[in-house]
Structure 1
Amino acid sequence: MCKGLSALPATCLERAKEMKGKCFSVLKLYVKALPQLVMFDMTCQYSVDCFRASPEEKRLQELEKLLTNKHGLLVFRAFLCKEFSEENIDFWMACEDFKNMKENSKLTFKAKKIYEEYVAIKAPKEINLDSQTREAVTSNVTNPTLSCFETAQKRIFNLMEKDSFPRFLKSELCLDILR
């Protein structure tokens, strides 16, 4: 092992190995999903709504469609994993699950879990939020409702839409699918 890595705490090395394993398993799923992704691209590319929309609306519609397609979601997550920003999609997915919860008895537990994993300062998968949004979520979690993460989820979606998704569309991963 090189000197640089041996100087890191064991927890950092374990986390890096864990992330590498997750990325590898997601990439294996991506290879299996190629045929479905080509069909996804064709339906998005040729939908009537896409032709009428502005470039920003097209990108928004494409990202929304990508996130509702299980194979598209896997490939986008694999891309974010390669870019070390998979916490964004993980948080977005956790919020989607949270909004669709049926049992109110577990609402507080699930809200605190999401908060501690993604929103809290120095959280294991801390997402990039402005202080105002972080404070709003912090106060919402004390008495959670199904919409307590809504603002933060929108911010992360906008971040992915404006930053990660355009890079994804230009990435080798995406271009390979389109070929």
Structure 2
Amino acid sequence: MCKGLATLPATCLKSAKDIKHKISFLLQKPEAPAADQKQTREKSAAAAVKRVPAATEVKKWKQSFSHVMNSDAGRSVFTSFLRSEFSEENMDFWLACEDYKKTPSPGLETRAKQIYQQYVEADAANEVNLDAATREETRQNVESARPSCFDEAQRTIYTLMEKDSYRRFLNSKLFQDLARSKEMKNCDCAENRQALTGGA
């Protein structure tokens, strides 16, 4: 220890160590569970985009909204579209509800409150568009958290995306370009097969 510090009383040294510890604690970045989930979702979305969907998969997306939602790549492309419309919170909420259903019982109450505060509560950071009755029913359900407490709200948001956003998605440049590029690739493949088989 240097001579300057040795001359200080022990209580001063202890106080200095306490202050140093508190400062280092404050400088650490807090890890919010919602931020972790968003990063995980973004990584899986990036992976889905890297996995180029087959033309048959893209065609199915046009047939029904459930095909979009049952496909990782479909959800990823649809989420990109929602982001462009500033309504990405609908997909985030739907995915949070899906994830919530898999939450072990001891964590249900805490997770239910987090989802409610983030998406359902009036003036929430990522408030989804729910009618007053569904919002109130969900609030009551959260008080006795069960895996099904968001079912009605999730169904409402699913229907909203299906009846509203999905129709615009099918007419969007994003989807049209994707469908067109798939058709072009299919044509090229068919022409190449014909050339290889001698036009048969």
TM over 0.5: yes
| Equivalent in the alignment of 1:127 | 128
Structure 1: unaligned runs, 5 residues or longer? 1-21, 46-57
| Equivalent in the alignment of 2:74 | 72
Q: Provide the rounded CA distance (Å) in 1 between the counterparts of 2:75 and 2:95.
A: 10
Give the one of 40, 43, 50 matched to 1:32: 50
Q: Provide the rounded CA distance (Å) in 2 between the counterparts of 1:38 and 1:85.
A: 27
* Contact persistence 1:116–1:123 (CA under 8 A): yes
| Equivalent in the alignment of 1:167 | 168
Query: Cα distance, 1:65 vs. partner?
Result: 1.6
Q: Check if 1:138 corresponds to 2:139.
A: yes
Q: Provide the rounded CA distance (Å) in 2 between the counterparts of 1:126 and 1:37.
A: 34
* Contact persistence 1:30–1:78 (CA under 8 A): no
Deviation digits for residues 8-52 of structure 1 (CA, Å, limit 9, x no counterpart): xxxxxxxxxxxxxx9x9999767634x31533124566xxxxxxx
Q: What amino acid maps onto 2:57 in structure 1?
A: F
Alignment of 1:55-66 (within 5 A): 62-66=64-68
Deviation digits for residues 39-95 of structure 1 (CA, Å, limit 9, x no counterpart): 3124566xxxxxxxxxxxx5xxx2112112111111000000000000001000101
| Equivalent in the alignment of 1:17 | none
Q: What amino acid maps onto 2:58 in structure 1?
A: D
Q: What amino acid maps onto 1:157 in structure 2?
A: Y
Give the one of 58, 77, 80 matched to 1:41: 58
* Contact persistence 1:120–1:126 (CA under 8 A): yes
Report the RMSD for the aligned CA atoms in angstroms.
2.4
- TM-score, structure 2 as length reference: 0.64
Deviation digits for residues 95-153 of structure 1 (CA, Å, limit 9, x no counterpart): 1111122x100000110010000000110000010000000000110111100000000
- TM-score, structure 1 as length reference: 0.71
Which of these two proteins has the greater Rg computed from alpha carbons? 2
| Equivalent in the alignment of 1:81 | 83
Structure 2: unaligned runs, 5 residues or longer? 1-38, 181-200
